[in-house]
């Protein structure tokens, strides 16, 4: 796979809802991105969840980043409110799940663009905050969240299994600003 052009030099990068014809490709991209995390790993059960783009697209909003030729560069699941993919309980909250950028396209600003789109959607929906979880191994994602103003919030950490510690970040929003 060739490395895409630097995002700043390619204004044709767009963020849009995933199409059904892209479900398999986004599933593969997401699993590849998670496997590429240094020191990270995913269980077989979680890989199944990562691959189930069709269910995520039905129950939340799955967005993709594509270049001018339609090549898939990354994806993210935006959870606009309470529901099956929510890792939060407040009715005025939104969530971000499963941020993934193709290993060949990482460090080019694509993840940032995907997260900024989720922030804009949460603000447009009048949400007070965005909640997300990540793992200790996902240091690049943590740096991105820090740079965008998310705050590490240990009181919202989760342990879905004895070996899996999910660390929480929260971004307080000004719903009037979009």
The pLDDT averaged over each successive group of 10 residues in the chain (178 residues) is 41 90 97 85 79 96 95 97 91 95 91 96 96 92 96 93 89 72
Strands (E), the chain: 14-17, 61-66, 72-79, 93-101, 129-134, 151-152, 158-161, 164-172
118-130 per-residue burial string, b: 16 or more CB within 10 A, e: under 16? bbebbbeeebebb
Q: Which residue, 32, 71, 70, is CA-closest to 50?
A: 32
Separation in Å, CA 73 to CA 60, 103, 114, 144: 20, 9, 10, 17
Q: Could you give the number of structural domains in the chain?
A: 1
pLDDT at position 6 is 39
In a domain, 2, yes or no: no
pLDDT at position 112 is 95
Which neighbouring-strand residues pair with 132?
96, 169
In a domain, 177, yes or no: no
Please give the DSSP secondary-structure letter assigned to residue 103. G
In a domain, 1, yes or no: no
pLDDT at position 40 is 65
pLDDT at position 9 is 46
Task: Quickly tell me which residue has 């705050």 as its tokens.
Answer: 151
In a domain, 82, yes or no: yes
70 alpha-carbon distance from chain centroid: 19
In a domain, 152, yes or no: yes
At residue 29's C-alpha, the angle toward residues 165 and 49, to 5°, is 45
pLDDT at position 8 is 47
In a domain, 21, yes or no: yes
At residue 160's C-alpha, the angle toward residues 154 and 162, to 5°, is 95
Q: At 151, which CATH number?
A: 3.40.630.30
In a domain, 163, yes or no: yes
d(CA 71, CA 13): 10
In a domain, 109, yes or no: yes
Domain that holds residue 132: 7-172
């Amino acid at each position: 796979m060739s490395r895409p052009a630097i995002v700043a030099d390619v204004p044709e990068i767009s963020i849009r809802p995933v199409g059904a014809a892209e479900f398999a490709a986004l599933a593969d991209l997401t699993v590849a991105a998670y496997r590429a995390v240094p020191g990270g790993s995913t269980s077989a059960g979680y890989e199944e969840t990562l691959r189930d783009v069709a269910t995520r697209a039905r129950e939340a909003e799955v967005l993709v980043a594509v270049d001018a030729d339609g090549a898939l560069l990354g994806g993210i699941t935006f959870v606009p409110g309470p529901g099956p993919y929510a890792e939060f309980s407040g009715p005025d909250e939104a969530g971000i799940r499963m941020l993934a950028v193709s290993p060949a396209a990482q460090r080019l600003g694509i993840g940032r663009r995907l997260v900024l789109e989720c922030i804009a959607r949460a603000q447009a929906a009048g949400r007070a905050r965005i909640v997300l979880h990540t793992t200790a191994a996902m240091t690049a994602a943590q740096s991105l969240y820090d740079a965008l103003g998310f705050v590490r919030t240990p009181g919202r950490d989760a342990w879905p299994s004895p070996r899996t510690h999910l660390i929480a970040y929260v971004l307080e929003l000004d719903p009037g600003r979009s």
